Structure 1
Amino acid sequence: MEKIPVGVLGATGMVGQQYIALLADHPWFEVTYVAASPRSAGKPYADAVAGRWQLAKPYSPAVGPLIVEDANDISRAAAAAGQGKCAFVFSALEMGKDEIKALEEAYAAAGIPVVSNASAHRWTRDVPMLIAEVNPSHTDIIPIQQTSRGWDKGFIAVKPNCSIQSYMTPLWALIQAGYEVKRMFVSTMQAVSGAGFPGVPSLSIIENVVPYIGGEEEKSEQEPLKILGSVTEGAIVSAEGPLITAHCNRVPVVDGHTACVSLEFGSKKPSIEEVKKIWSEFTALPQELKLPMAPERPIIVREEADRPQPRKDRDLDKAMAVCVGRIRPCNLFDLRFVGLSHNTVRGAAGGGILNAELLKSKGYL
């Protein structure tokens, strides 16, 4: 199979580097175009990330010589697309939200699909916010998005906030099994890599917990409702529930977002054993799709009293699985558990790549 040439916007940043690393051996996609800020533009990628490469896994030798383009210059990407060197782009842009929003729209208007990690378009009503195992049907909005905006080949699809992916798939599995979730209490303990690089100052996080991450609680309370919503009359309409309240904390962990979750069900309540069975057997994506980044087991249940733990469980199944444990009755609601996911893989670049694989399987790429 001939690989699809792809670009990475924000390629020198923390998430951009993760895209570059994860795509190094991808069977479907090949990085042929990289773009970043003007200060990196004009340099070979190897020079642009010299002394700044943050990952244990190196980038592909084929990427090192690629000249970094200015991400603000859409004409360069359009020219590459015209030459068959950039079929679509992954967006890991790091700039103001309004700037990202305008820039991603400009790429789409130029006929270049955008699979975004950024938050700028998460609340745009005709842009799908995808977790592949949860709401793949939201891709149905893409033709509507293209028609209403006059975009021929371009479109925008985004992934949600990294922290909610530590519990959204378990939540969806229970809803899909027929259990109404009325209320949800979640407290997250989020890794420092979620703040990008250089991220949180060391004197602020070592031996400390920071009980505030700007905008994070609002995202945690609202984004799940769009994901659980439906495509209605040309827009994605958010679900009315569950009612969610969130506490979000930054903790001295490098990678891996942990969430302590309590759920209140409607009149029909699952037993603990039924919950474990639902999660252990959850598959969601049709196996015949064979999406390369999809985990074989989207939800991994641990029985140990002290798991999941970021250092021990964040890398399970290509770092794309959600690991759950401490599943037990809740004195306030009905059920409580701990969820864990790798924030820069499942919650960022890996999730974006899986979304692109889903879009390709549906014929959009």
Structure 2
Amino acid sequence: MEPIPVAILGATGAVGQRFVQLLDHHPWFKVTTLCASDRSVGKTYAEGCRWLLDTPMPEWAREMVLQPTIAEVINEPIVFSALPADVAFDLEPALAQKGCVVCSNASAHRMDEDVPLILPEVNAEHVDLVHWQRQRRAWRGAIVTNPNCTSTGMTVVLKALDQIFGVKRVIAVSMQALSGAGYPGVASLDITDNVIPYIRGEEEKVSLEPRKMLGVLKDGQIKFHPVAISAQTNRVAVLDGHLVCLSVECDTRPTPEEALRALESFVTPDWLMDLPSTPKPPIVVRRENDRPQPRLDRMTGRGMSTVVGRVRADEVLDLKMVVLSHNTIRGAAGASIYNAELIVRKGLLP
């Protein structure tokens, strides 16, 4: 098919750069508009962006002129949003009203009743909420979101366990990479020789978002999963890759080996297997005592697979394990692109 034109909002930031990197040579999408803050508008992308990634800035992006972050300049059918939540709050609905499908990494509308919060291997069926969203809001476009970068990997794991054993209670302790704070992010004097045991708004997202994704869509409403999640979030001196230490109580208590088999056998729905961003496999289990590790395992499955290790019996609940996902790929830009591919597959572009 002809490449679908797409725009990137917040293109010069850490997640915006991931969008540019991951959309380079994408088989379905072609970037035709890059938007940035007022201080960069009118500059070329090479002039306005301090490139942070370990691959070269794509040549097609270098000379693209950065556009203002306003609805009037955006006409693409798909818009990828890496905006701060306060900016996204008003702009994303304006774009949906205009007829754009906004695939958003921002948190502004994740918990809206008619906005799907999607990880395709977990809850692809929730994308049908777009039909009700369009009816209720009388717009041709849509807003589709992906979850917080810490919620991502743990929700994939909880889905694999829930569909066999049921999940009742979860204790989640995160060790979150620096790139999750954007650029320039955390001051070096704050994070060097240190762990910061507070990230504003994170614990609330990690406690609630998985319940929406694990819930059931019926008659235009999502009934949240009843699992109770207690979350503590920490910033650590790692560049990329969020680790989450999970303890899980199940309806039917599995042995560690039964849980490992459930994780290893978890598969993406067949009708999604040929999407360009589908992780293969969605979950990779490491049986070594000291894995996963961010530096060694974050790029598993091109950064889209969730890596799980240290699956053991828990002395208080039923199971405990360590979960790793790449926060700016699977937990951000890659997740939004995957959702856009799902939208195209479902024929939901206006």
TM over 0.5: yes
Gaps of 5+ in 1: none
List per-residue Cα deviations over 1:191-227 (Å, max 9, x = no partner). 0100000000000001100000011111111111111
List per-residue Cα deviations over 1:127-150 (Å, max 9, x = no partner). 000111101111111011011111
Checking the alignment, whether the CA contact within 8 Å between 1:32 and 1:63 is kept in structure 2 is no
> Which among 175, 198, 202 is matched to residue 216 of structure 1?
202
Checking the alignment, whether the CA contact within 8 Å between 1:212 and 1:249 is kept in structure 2 is yes
Aligned-residue CA RMSD (Å) = 1.2
Checking the alignment, whether the CA contact within 8 Å between 1:91 and 1:115 is kept in structure 2 is yes
Q: CA deviation at 1:7?
A: 0.5
The code of the aligned residue for 2:211 comes to L
Aligned to 1:232: 218
Inter-partner Cα distance in structure 2 for 1:288 and 1:115: 17
Q: CA deviation at 1:237?
A: 3.0
List per-residue Cα deviations over 1:88-145 (Å, max 9, x = no partner). 1000013xx3431111000111111100000000111100001111011111110110
Aligned to 1:89: 79
Aligned-partner SS, 1:53: coil
Checking the alignment, whether the CA contact within 8 Å between 1:125 and 1:237 is kept in structure 2 is no
Checking the alignment, whether the CA contact within 8 Å between 1:125 and 1:236 is kept in structure 2 is yes
Gaps of 5+ in 2: none
Inter-partner Cα distance in structure 1 for 2:279 and 2:268: 11
Taking the TM superposition and a 5 Å limit, the aligned residue runs for 1:200-215 are: 200-215=186-201
Q: CA deviation at 1:157?
A: 0.3
Inter-partner Cα distance in structure 2 for 1:237 and 1:215: 23
Checking the alignment, whether the CA contact within 8 Å between 1:116 and 1:352 is kept in structure 2 is yes
Checking the alignment, whether the CA contact within 8 Å between 2:77 and 2:99 is kept in structure 1 is no
Tell me if 1:100 matches 2:98: no
TM score, norm. by length of structure 1: 0.93
Aligned to 2:29: 29
Taking the TM superposition and a 5 Å limit, the aligned residue runs for 1:87-236 are: 87-94=77-84, 97-152=85-140, 154-177=141-164, 179-236=165-222
Q: CA deviation at 1:5?
A: 1.0
Q: CA deviation at 1:230?
A: 2.3
Tell me if 1:338 matches 2:322: yes
Inter-partner Cα distance in structure 2 for 1:288 and 1:93: 27
Tell me if 1:309 matches 2:293: yes
Tell me if 1:253 matches 2:238: yes
The code of the aligned residue for 1:136 comes to A
Inter-partner Cα distance in structure 2 for 1:184 and 1:350: 26
Aligned-partner SS, 1:292: coil
List per-residue Cα deviations over 1:256-280 (Å, max 9, x = no partner). 00011001112x2222212111111
List per-residue Cα deviations over 1:294-332 (Å, max 9, x = no partner). 111110000110000000000001110110000110001
Tell me if 1:54 matches 2:52: yes
Q: CA deviation at 1:170?
A: 1.2
The code of the aligned residue for 1:115 comes to C
In the alignment of these two chains, the number of paired residues is 349
Q: CA deviation at 1:236?
A: 2.5
Inter-partner Cα distance in structure 2 for 1:282 and 1:25: 29
Checking the alignment, whether the CA contact within 8 Å between 2:272 and 2:278 is kept in structure 1 is no
Checking the alignment, whether the CA contact within 8 Å between 2:105 and 2:332 is kept in structure 1 is yes
Tell me if 1:325 matches 2:309: yes
4+ aligned runs moved over 4 Å, structure 1: none
List per-residue Cα deviations over 1:36-81 (Å, max 9, x = no partner). 11111111212111xx11001123211222211101x21111xxx3
